[in-house]
Each structure stands twice: as structure tokens, then as C-alpha cells.
Chains A and B, each alone.
Chain A
Amino acid sequence: MSHDNSSPSFFQHHFHDVEQQYETSKFGMWAFILTEVLTFAGLFVAYIVYRSWYPDMFVGVHKLLDVNKGLLNTVVLITSSLTMALAIWAIQKNLKKLSIFMLTATFVFALAFLGVKYQEYHHKYEVGQLPGKYYSYMGPEVVEVIKDQEKIDYYTSSNNVYFDAETNRLYKTMNNPHIFFSIYFVMTGLHGLHVAIGMGLIAWLIYSTARGNIHQKYYTPMEMIGIFWHLVDLIWIYLFPLFYLIG
């Protein structure tokens, strides 16, 4: 029985044995993952509804996002998922130094992800591709300069475009592009928040593993934070094609 003096220090008395303690933690973690999926589900539903209302606008406006930066972040996040899995593998094999190295690599990749994300956000802020009422972008993708009088007459009479005679600029009206950016910023923003929280948890893991609180016999926190970190990767796997690779 497990209530004698020989039970390990990490064992909590209300569990039957160490194995049950581990399985219970894991079940609890998956219940948390369920709530996480449902949190993001609301935002995915918003995306689906608005995309079905404005299919052309989504296809047009997504071109304002940088596919290369999105792909770079995908590669960075998958790599960080691999290093996180390897950190758990290393601690299972009692390779403490390798485990700490892999956790540090995961932390660095997470930082790189947020760095790329910051660059993207900063660019969007500069040009005014912002959510809701803050959207003010009128760049080359939505504006054309027209000199031909015949075309000007045609466009002036057309319903889908607006020609400004004073500036000689043609506005192609994409309907409600700010809605795309509202959804983009909320979804990637909440995902980015998860990356930041994950970084804090990984930093704590590095500290605990170095101090010897997490070891071959007891690595439950690392396994659980690993599951959280892979969920962050999993959500990005869907966000990437939905925002960067439309049509």
C-alpha cells in the first residue's frame, strides 16, 4: 500500500497510488484542453459565418497578409513542438541536461514566433489594417490610378467601384475588410496570448528541472505543459491556412 514511509515525496496522500495520480492529472489536463477547444470554437464559428457572408472579401483581403511570414511561423511552431516532445523523451530516459536544452530551445522558438508576429502586427498598425472602426487602409491593393477618360466614365457609372476625380484614384470597394482584420486580430491575438503563457510555463519547467523537482520518476508537469504546448501548435495548424492561404 502507498501510505507507508517509503512513498515518494511527490505522491499526494489522497490518491491510491502514483499511477492513479498521474492518470488523474492527465484526465484533468484533457478536460482543460476540451474547454480550450471550445473557447477557440466560438471564434472559428465567427470566422465561418462571416466568410460565408463575404466570401469575395475574405479572398481579396487575405492577400494583405504575408504568406512567407505565416509559413515561417508554422515551421517555427512545429519545430518547437518537436523540441517539447523531445524534452519529455529526454527526461523519461533520465537525460536531464538534454531535457533542459530541449526546453530552452522550445522557449527560444516560442520567442521567435512572437517576434515574427510582432513584426506582422507592427506593419498592420503602421498601414492602418486594423480591426473594426480603426481600419483605415487604402493602399495599392485596393486603389488604382486611372488616366483613361473612357475608363473613368465607365467606372464612375459602375456600382462596385468609386472614382475620386480630385485625386484621380479609383477605389475598388471590398466590402467590410475591417471585419476580416477584426477576426484576424482576435484569433491570432488569443493564440499569441497562449504562446506567451506557454513561454512562462516552459520557463518554470526549465527552473524546476534544473533544481531537480522534475525528474525521471516524476515528470507530470512537463507532460501536461507539453500537451498544452502541442494544442497551441494544433490551433495554429488551422489558423495558418484559414488566414494566409485562402483561395
Chain B
Amino acid sequence: MSDHHITPLRTYLIIASCLFFLSGVTVWVSYIDLGSFNIVLAMLVATVKASLVAFFFMHLLWDDKKNLVLFLMSLMFFGIFVVITMIDTEFRGALGFNPETKNPITKRASFYGQLPLTDTHGYPVDSHDDIHHGDDDHH
């Protein structure tokens, strides 16, 4: 096993410094209001950090490329998972279904006893005339 690539100590220290720096950056940026761009930037920084960990700490850069392919395949299937699920959940409104009507949240959390019931947009819902998702349907 002596012919394995030995990553120089310097590389590890540089990568770790980058990771610490980027962690600081992502916290700092989160305090600036960029609207919906905040989440994009946060995920971008996280992906750079994750790539540094995968390529250097997990040695993917020097490994046989079949391991990288396996890892990228897991991410690809994650992408398929997200897209196909979102095609369902994001367009239920187009069919005239409020997500809560289509997939009701059982209002059993103890704090609901103190609050009037509301729909997704915060408008009051009278629990008695709700014919679409009475709890009785699930018993």
C-alpha cells in the first residue's frame, strides 16, 4: 500500500482554513437581506465547502474515478427525487386544491388549543364546516 497517494500536510491545512473562512462568510452573508438570493448564495457556499471536503478530505481527487461517479450518481438521483416530488406538490393549487386540503395537517399540536385555526395564508378556518378534511375520515 506504499504506492498510495499521500496528500501533503499543507493541502489539508489550506483546505481546513478555506472551510473555516467560508463558514464565516455564509453566516456574515445571511445577515444581509438579498431577498430570495440569500438561499441561492447559502447553498452555493455550502456546495463549495462540500466539494472541498469530498475532493480533498475524502480523497476523491486522487481516487479511481469510479468512486466519484458513484457519489455524483447519488446526487443525480436526489435531483430526480426533488424534481418529481415538486411537480406534484407545487402544482396542487392549479387543480384547485389548497395543500392543506389535499394533504391535511392534523391539528393536534397542543398550541392549537390556544389559537383559532387558520389556513396556509393565516385566515381563520371554522373547523366545523370543513367538509373536505374532517379528522373522522382518517379514523
Contact = CB atoms under 8 A, between A and B. Distances in A.
Given A26-B63, A48-B82, A52-B90, A241 B16 contact: no
A135 B109 CA distance: 6
A55 B110 CA distance: 22
A22 B63 contact: no
Q: Which secondary structure dominates chain B's binding surface?
A: helix
Number of contact residues on B: which range applies?
35 or more
A237 to B, nearest CB: 5
Contact of A30 (B12, B71, B123): B71
B61 interface: no
Given A49-B89, A178-B109, A179-B105, A27 B66 contact: yes
Contacts of B99: 53
B101 interface: no
Given A30-B70, A37-B78, A53 B120 contact: yes
A171 B112 CA distance: 12
Contacts of B12: 82, 85-86, 89
A137 B64 CA distance: 51
Given A162-B115, A218-B1, A132 B74 contact: no
13 contacts: A18-B1, A26-B63, A53-B120, A78-B23, A136-B109, A160-B123, A164-B114, A176-B105, A230-B54, A230-B58, A234-B53, A237-B49, A246-B39
Interface of A: 18-19, 22-23, 26-27, 30-31, 33-34, 37-38, 41-42, 44-45, 48-49, 52-54, 67, 71, 74-75, 78-79, 81-82, 84-86, 89, 92-93, 128, 132-138, 159-160, 162, 164, 171, 173, 175-179, 216-219, 223, 226-227, 230-231, 233-234, 237-238, 240-242, 245-247
